[in-house]
Each structure stands twice: as structure tokens, then as C-alpha cells.
């Protein structure tokens, strides 16, 4: 698979086909191809030999998509940043990249200070227009190891880390995702639902599988997703055939009795990734959409979206508790290792290790974070990259089962969160001496986060102080990372080796 070639072929064969719908706006394949070509040349003129990835700031707009492809075609790769990311975190990401400029498809939340320049929508459109009148310059063809995109995920130290995904990673991933659950022909020209913002790698599953199949992307906006009165009509209007979301999002939709095959008569395929798909959710969904194929997939951003698959049938739902996450895709090997790095046998629980052609080359400019978890190994005569996931699981006859984490990373409503990220950002606030964030678990899933705090002076009005801290925290953390509850203590309970005693704190959760 070569995703750029596929998009080009669709643009030639079906120039007027819609590639993305956004409100009243419709972007055609022809316009996507032509505008991204022109913008790529303009970027090349502007940046010359500087191949630093370009941050693309916005929210699910066709212009964002044009910018993504333009960055890739110009040999730079892009880093999507959603407008919901707090401004200080946005700037943290941008400063860690040090790009020549940011392509801002939405107005920046604040006037950007310092050396970073934001090219806003009008400037981007002007670049495209002006380039159309110039003598074309030749662009260097994209090579397999060139960066395609870079997605920042929560980092335990309090700063997000950039996972680099190359063209080869994405193309190998797409070889598999286009035949995931249904054939490529069955996906051809269909509508793909997009739930996740482009700054989460789950969106790669719908966005690029859609583009590889000449389909139409139908994004659900943040506003639609937070209001049922808007969500259900939006779903009904989508005409979607392929559904991609976290199980949490499907769970939320299932709360409405009208969410069934009569609302979405074209749905043929549900693709899930990112967190545990429970038997309950799967059963409800299968009951409401009896003719659709339901697939569970598993994988971290570091291995390009997902690397295992399993079809969730009524028989499997009845036979397996919990549900497996599946068998590895072609070009991928899954192993289970002990803490000493010894490969374990079938049925033995240990760390899930992913090896293969979609594993990232590592975190952007962070050899300190890359070296402990990424490695290379020989597999069937070839050298492949490997990644230690930090996930716990076991294999049984080639089928992978997920059992949780071996560290302090959690998934909350489908979002990947390092509890250390919350703690370190709490410690930035005035008067906070120590902090420990703990997940409230139910049925093996995180339901909310409680943070335990020790402040210089125990507040008299703890409720009022908690509200203030949550407000202050919003400066640094996205909404989904803000603890639901803050509890003030005189001191944190400690383990014998001087760390916060999370077990004891867990016992204090109500």
C-alpha cells in the first residue's frame, strides 16, 4: 500500500467524490489532491532544507486534512494538535518540536508569543492560491522511513511525548486495516464515521482507512459528541457504513434506546480499539445491530493504532469472559515477557511485547524515553523494531488477552493518561507539596480519577479550594485528565521505600 498513490488514484478516477464532510463544507478528492500539492510546494519554498515536522492546529476541518497531506508530500510529516488541548500544553508540544511555523486551521486560543509563528487560515489559503500561479517546483518523493505523522501522548513526567510514525509504518498498517472485518471492496466509497480528534491515533483508523478505500469521512464534532440532542441526528444523517470509536463512546450511544440499526441502516462494520471492550457492551451492540460485523483490536500509538484483531461473534461473547483482543496482524509478532525479559509460554501472564513493521522508531528527540522501551530484533531472518508496551497479558493458542497495566498509565473513557502527568502538573500549582492521582476502578475499567493532595496549609474551605485547583489545572491539562475528586490529607501514606502508598490511597476511595 502507498497511501499517497491510493488518494491520487481516487482523485483521478473520481475527482468529484467527497473525501470529507464538515457541516456545510464538502471537500472533494480532486481538491484535496490539488490543494495539498500546491501547499506542499509552498512549504518547500518556505522551509527549504528544514525537515522539522509541522504542527497542524485545528479541529476536524477539511483544511486540516489538506495541511496533513501537504506536510507529508513536502517530506516533513505533521503533528496534529486539537483545539481542545490547553494552550500551555499546546505550546509545550510546539516548543519541543521547534518548527519553522504552525499551520493554524483555527485561530490560536491566545496570541502566540516568542519565536513561533502561526500561519492562520487566510495565510494558508493565500499560499495555496499564490502557488497556483508559480512555476511548479519538484518535490522529493516520500521515502518509507520519512515521518508521516507524530502524535503526542501523555508522559509520566508531566510533559507529553511525541510518537513518530513513518510512511512505511502507516502503509503496512493500512495493508491490514483495509481488509479488517470486511473486504476492501466492501469499504470502497463508503462513509466512515470519525469520533476521535485527529490528535489521537484512533482517528488514523478511520481517516486513512477511509482515504485508502476512496471513502468519505464523516467527523462528529466535539459539540455533537457532548449533546445527545445533536449526536443522534448527526449519526442518522451520516449514512455511515464503517464505525470507528472507543468502546466508551459506543457505550454512551447505547444508553439511548434509539441507537440501533434503524438509525444507522447502512452500518456494516464496527471497529473498536483503545480500551477494554466488555462482554456487556459487545452483547448490547450485537443485539441492536445484528447484521453488522464487530471487531475488537488492540495496540498502542507506538505500534501505529492497532496490531491484533478478533471478530466478536455472539458465540465468542457467550464463551469468553473477558473477551480476547485478538491475533496479530501480518508482519507483527506478539510475545509475552517476564520482568527479566524472558519469553513466557502460552497461558503465562507477563508484559506484552510488539515486534514488527508498524512499530515506531521512537519518541521525537527523546532518546532517554525511547531507549528503555524500543529495540530491534531478528524475526524470521529480518530485522524488525520492537516495543515494550507496559501492558500485561497472556497468549493462548495465538490469541492475545489483555489484563491491565504494569505501571501507572490508565485509560479513562478511552483516553490514555499517565497518572504521573496529573501529579506533576498538580505540583506546579502554588502551595501543593505532594500529590498522588489514583484511578477509581469498576469491572476492571477506570471510571474516574481522585487526586490526594497535601498543601502547605490545609484549606478551611476544602470544597472551594478543590474547585479552584481544578480550574487552575485546566491551564495545563485537557479536561479528560482533570481529577473528578480532590482529597486533602495532612500527609500521603508512604510505602517502606518512600513512595506514595497507592494501595492505601485506593482503600480511601469512596
Q: Which residues of 237-253 are buried (b: 16+ CB within 10 A; e: fewer)?
A: ebbbbbbbbbbbbbbbb
Hey, which residues between 48 and 107 contact ligand AMP (CB under 6 A)? none
Pattern of binders to ligand AMP over 304-333, x per CB under 6 A? Answer: ---------------------x--------
In angstroms, the CA 353 to CA 325 distance is: 14
| Contact call for residue 296 and ligand AMP (CB under 6 A) | yes
In angstroms, the CA 475 to CA 327 distance is: 41
Q: How far is the CB of 176 from ligand AMP (least distance, A)?
A: 15
Question: Which region among 70-78, 87-95, 294-302, 340-348 touches ligand AMP (by CB under 6 A)?
Answer: 294-302
Question: Which residue lies nearer to ligand AMP by CB, 78 or 387?
Answer: 387
- Environment class of residue 399 by beta-carbon count within 10 Å: exposed (0-12), middle (13-18) or buried (19+)? middle
Q: How far is the CB of 368 from ligand AMP (least distance, A)?
A: 19
| Contact call for residue 276 and ligand AMP (CB under 6 A) | yes
Is the preceding omega at residue 322 within 30 degrees of 0, hence cis? yes
Q: How far is the CB of 89 from ligand AMP (least distance, A)?
A: 16
In angstroms, the CA 261 to CA 357 distance is: 37
Question: Which residue lies nearer to ligand AMP by CB, 248 or 424?
Answer: 248
Q: Could you tell me if 83 and 180 are in contact, meaning their C-beta atoms sit under 8 angstroms apart?
A: no
DSSP string, 53-102: -EEEEESS-HHHHHHHHHHHHTT--EEEEETTS-HHHHHHHHHHH--S-E
Total chain residues near ligand AMP (CB under 6 A):
18
Question: Could you count the other beta carbons within 10 Å of the beta carbon of residue 257?
Answer: 7
In angstroms, the CA 191 to CA 30 distance is: 18
Hey, which residues between 184 and 203 contact ligand AMP (CB under 6 A)? 201
Answer for which of 6, 206, 391, 418 binds ligand AMP (CB under 6 A) is 391
Question: Which residue lies nearer to ligand AMP by CB, 109 or 396?
Answer: 396
Pattern of binders to ligand AMP over 127-166, x per CB under 6 A? Answer: --------------------------x-------------
3-state helix, strand, coil in the chain (%, to 5): 35, 30, 40
Hey, which residues between 201 and 240 contact ligand AMP (CB under 6 A)? 201
Answer for which of 60, 161, 411, 465 binds ligand AMP (CB under 6 A) is 411
Distances, alpha carbon 325 to alpha carbons 276, 278, 309, 413, in Å: 8, 11, 6, 18
Q: How far is the CB of 358 from ligand AMP (least distance, A)?
A: 13
Q: How far is the CB of 310 from ligand AMP (least distance, A)?
A: 9
Binding-site ranges for ligand AMP (CB under 6 A): 153, 201, 273-276, 296, 298-301, 325, 389, 391, 402, 405, 411, 416
Amino acid at each position: 500500500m502507498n497511501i499517497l498513490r491510493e488518494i491520487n488514484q481516487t482523485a483521478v478516477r473520481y475527482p468529484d467524490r467527497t473525501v470529507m464532510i464538515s457541516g456545510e463544507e464538502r471537500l472533494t478528492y480532486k481538491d484535496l489532491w490539488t490543494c495539498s500539492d500546491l501547499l506542499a510546494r509552498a512549504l518547500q519554498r518556505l522551509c527549504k532544507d528544514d525537515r522539522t515536522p509541522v504542527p497542524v492546529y485545528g479541529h476536524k476541518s477539511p483544511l486540516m486534512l489538506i495541511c496533513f497531506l501537504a506536510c507529508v508530500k513536502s517530506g516533513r510529516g505533521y503533528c496534529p494538535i486539537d483545539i481542545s488541548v490547553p494552550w500551555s500544553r499546546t505550546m509545550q508540544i510546539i516548543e519541543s518540536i521547534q518548527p519553522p511555523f504552525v499551520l493554524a486551521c483555527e485561530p490560536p486560543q491566545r496570541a502566540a508569543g516568542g519565536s513561533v509563528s502561526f500561519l492562520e487560515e487566510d495565510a494558508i489559503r493565500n499560499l495555496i492560491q499564490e502557488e497556483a500561479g508559480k512555476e511548479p517546483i519538484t518535490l522529493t518523493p516520500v521515502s518509507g522511513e520519512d515521518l508521516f505523522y507524530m502524535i503526542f501522548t501523555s508522559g509520566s513526567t508531566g510533559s507529553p511525548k511525541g510518537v513518530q510514525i513513518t510512511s512505511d509504518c502507516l502503509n503496512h498498517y493500512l495493508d491490514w486495516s483495509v481488509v479488517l472485518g470486511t473486504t476492501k471492496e466492501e469499504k470502497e466509497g463508503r462513509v466512515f464515521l470519525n469520533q476521535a480528534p485527529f490528535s489521537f491515533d484512533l482517528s488514523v483508523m478511520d481517516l486513512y482507512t477511509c482515504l485508502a478505500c476512496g471513502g468519505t469521512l464523516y467527523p462528529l464534532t466535539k459539540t455533537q459528541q457532548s449533546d445527545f440532542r445533536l449526536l443522534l441526528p448527526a449519526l442518522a444523517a451520516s449514512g455511515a457504513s464503517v464505525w470507528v470509536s472507543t468502546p466508551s463512546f459506543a457505550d454512551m450511544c447505547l444508553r439511548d434506546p434509539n441507537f440501533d440499526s434503524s438509525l444507522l441502516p447502512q452500518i456494516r462494520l464496527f471497529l473498536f480499539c483503545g480500551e477494554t471492550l466488555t462482554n456487556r457492551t459487545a452483547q448490547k451492540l450485537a443485539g441492536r445491530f445484528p447484521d453488522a460485523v464487530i471487531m475488537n483490536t488492540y495496540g498502542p500509538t507506538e505500534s501505529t493504532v492497532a496490531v491484533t484483531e478478533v471478530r466478536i461473534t455472539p458465540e465468542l461473547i457467550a464463551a469468553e469472559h473477558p473477551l480476547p483482543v485478538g491475533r496479530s496482524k501480518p508482519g507483527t509478532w506478539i510475545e509475552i515477557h517476564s520482568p527479566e525479559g524472558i519469553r513466557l509460554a502460552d497461558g503465562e501472564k507477563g508484559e506484552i511485547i510488539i515486534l514488527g513493521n508498524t512499530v515506531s522508531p521512537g519518541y521525537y528527540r527523546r532518546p532517554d524515553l525511547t531507549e528503555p522501551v524500543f529495540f530491534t530484533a531478528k524475526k524470521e531472518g529480518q530485522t524488525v523494531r520492537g516495543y515494550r508496551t507496559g501492558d500485561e497479558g497472556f497468549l493462548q493458542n495465538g490469541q492475545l488477552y489483555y489484563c491491565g497495566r504494569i505501571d501507572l498509565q490508565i485509560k479513562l473513557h478511552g483516553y490514555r493518561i499517565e497518572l504521573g502527568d496529573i501529579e506533576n502538573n498538580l505540583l506546579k500549582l502554588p502551595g501543593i507539596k505532594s500529590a498522588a492521582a489514583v484511578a477509581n476502578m469498576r469491572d476492571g475499567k477506570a471510571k474516574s480519577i481522585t487526586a490526594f493532595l497535601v498543601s502547605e496549609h490545609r484549606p478551611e474551605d476544602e470544597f472551594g479550594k478543590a474547585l479552584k485547583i481544578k480550574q487552575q489545572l485546566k491551564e495545563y491539562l485537557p479536561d479528560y485528565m482533570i481529577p473528578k475528586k480532590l482529597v486533602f490529607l495532612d500527609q500521603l501514606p508512604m510505602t517502606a521505600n518512600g513512595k506514595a502508598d497507592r494501595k492505601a490511597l485506593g482503600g480511601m476511595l469512596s
